[in-house]
Structure 1
Amino acid sequence: MPLDLPTLAIASTAAYLLALLSAVAGFGGGVLLLPVFTALFGLRAAVPMLTLTQLSSNTARVWLNRRELRWGLVGWFALGAVPLAVAGGLLLAHAPLDPLKRLLGAFLIGVVSWRRFRPHPRKPADPAFAAVGAASGFGSALVGSVGPLTAPFFLAYGLTRAAYIGTEAAAALSMHLAKIAAYGTGDLLTTTVLVYGLVLTPATLAGAWTGKRLLNRISDRLFVHLVEAGLLISGLLFLLGF
């Protein structure tokens, strides 16, 4: 299929900038990229296309932070995420998305408020991440990205910077692979989705690399503030229906 060059330029610029954001904050890129892709391609194409760009972005973040990964948490997360991501992916063609988005938005804003009142929450047990993965996998398959949903749990576990970025990316990677399989079964991986997913990969890889360079320059305290700011922005976008 012929590529529309202005559309490709807009999508590539957005993919680069938001992959950079994800590499610094651990999430947020997918949530902010979804409205861009929806405006360019329509919602049903935007969600699987976003998954393909997140696949390359997360793979890059896993590799760049590979020495700090917590594989035990990744395993527990995948245990819940994979089956629910498949179920959500199969439901995408018919699911009502707006109510779910607004529920997630209210949850994220509530999480930040809760963290302000309880700045030192109890560390969750490793098996609890199976439930986190299940909720994330199902929601992500339906609305494209719920990365902010996982952030409070990884932060409460005590992960910061490279350990947080790499572990969250590896956990998300298992979820995105399951979603792609489900989208393929549901005939959502059209030629347009596959072509744009491929040609946007260099932009997402470049953004992840740039973000990794920036991550090495910030403190743990600033990192947590950036994550919380991202949670608030993501929550507001969900509430507004983006």
Structure 2
Amino acid sequence: MVVITHTLPAYGFLQYFLLGGAAFFSAIVGGISSFGSGLVLTPVLTPILGIKAVIPVMAVAMTLGNLSRVWVYRRHIQARTLLQIMVPALPCVLLGTYIYKVLPQNALELVIGVFLLVIIPVRRYMAKKHFTPTPAVIIGAAIVFGIVSGALPGGGIVLMPILLGIGLIGGGIIGTDACIGMITNICKVIFFFSFSLLNYRYFLYGLLIGACMFPGTYLARWLLNRMHIKAHTLLIEILILFSGLYFILSVITS
């Protein structure tokens, strides 16, 4: 059994203020584009919590972060699409969390770093592919999404071309994706508790971070029709690039 032994360092008010600001900014990122919230938070949380605690804490925070988006876009959620994704995905989330449990710290940092670097060209390639997914493709994407979401940040990017191909746009894609993310992260929290990768102290820490995301979601809704999506997407990709390099360099220099 893996038990969390990393202890939070004594950070001052400024550090916690900056962490809350990062959570607020990540909610704006996710609220506008429906991807990127977890990717932005990962490098901020890792030096504070340690790599073995960062994904479990983020699961708690992202539950609240997604809950805020579910509430804002509740009238646009597509229940049929939600069921199509979640039924095959949930068993695979358990597999992903187990993979996260058994990987050593350096391996986790390397995997996350490489994943963040690879996801930029993959996202661009998938964004150019306009297709109507068959039921088999939806199931396959849901399985991949479940495994990736259980072990890594940013698993929602796997679903973006599927949701677009189904025909979801605007509030429909943001609300449905947020509902998928909320359910997935609730399950991750349960699994991480069962694997002793999450304790009540980290759970409360995740709640604090998640609470900071609520106002960011409402600001994102205001910005959604006022910000050029290409500029926003480029900013996120730059943040993801530097995050991936951060994790890889931390492995090299350790």
TM-score (norm 1): 0.84
- Alignment deviations for residues 178-233 of structure 1 (CA, whole Å, 9 cap, x no partner): 11111000111124311211222321111112112222446xxx54x467547744
Q: Which runs of 5+ in 1 are unaligned?
A: none
Q: Which residue of 2 aligns with 1:155?
A: 164
Query: RMSD in angstroms over aligned alpha carbons?
Result: 2.7
Distance 1:41 1:235, change over 3 A: closer
Partner of 1:124: helix, strand, or coil?
A: coil
Shift in Å, 1:80: 2.1
Q: In the aligned structure 1, how far is the partner of 2:132 from the partner of 2:232?
A: 18
- Alignment deviations for residues 71-113 of structure 1 (CA, whole Å, 9 cap, x no partner): 1111111112211111211232222432465256425413413
> Is the CA contact 1:77–1:131 (under 8 Å) kept in the aligned structure 2?
no
1:130 aligns with 2:142: no
Give 1:204's match in structure 2, choosing from 186, 209, 213: 213
1:64 aligns with 2:69: no
Matches within 5 A, 1:9-48: 9-48=17-56
More divergent stretch after superposition (45-54 vs 128-137): 128-137
Shift in Å, 1:115: 4.0
Q: Which residue of 2 aligns with 1:180?
A: 189
Q: Which runs of 5+ in 2 are unaligned?
A: 1-7, 248-254
> Is the CA contact 1:34–1:46 (under 8 Å) kept in the aligned structure 2?
yes
The total of aligned residue pairs comes to: 235
- Alignment deviations for residues 40-80 of structure 1 (CA, whole Å, 9 cap, x no partner): 21111111111111100111111111111111111111112
Give 1:240's match in structure 2, choosing from 241, 245, 248: 245
Q: Which residue of 1 aligns with 2:118?
A: 106
Aligned identity (percent) is: 22
1:167 aligns with 2:179: no
Partner of 2:159: helix, strand, or coil?
A: helix
Q: In the aligned structure 2, how far is the partner of 1:183 from the partner of 1:32?
A: 21
> Is the CA contact 1:74–1:167 (under 8 Å) kept in the aligned structure 2?
yes
Q: In the aligned structure 2, how far is the partner of 1:90 from the partner of 1:18?
A: 26
1:87 aligns with 2:92: no
> Is the CA contact 1:148–1:234 (under 8 Å) kept in the aligned structure 2?
no
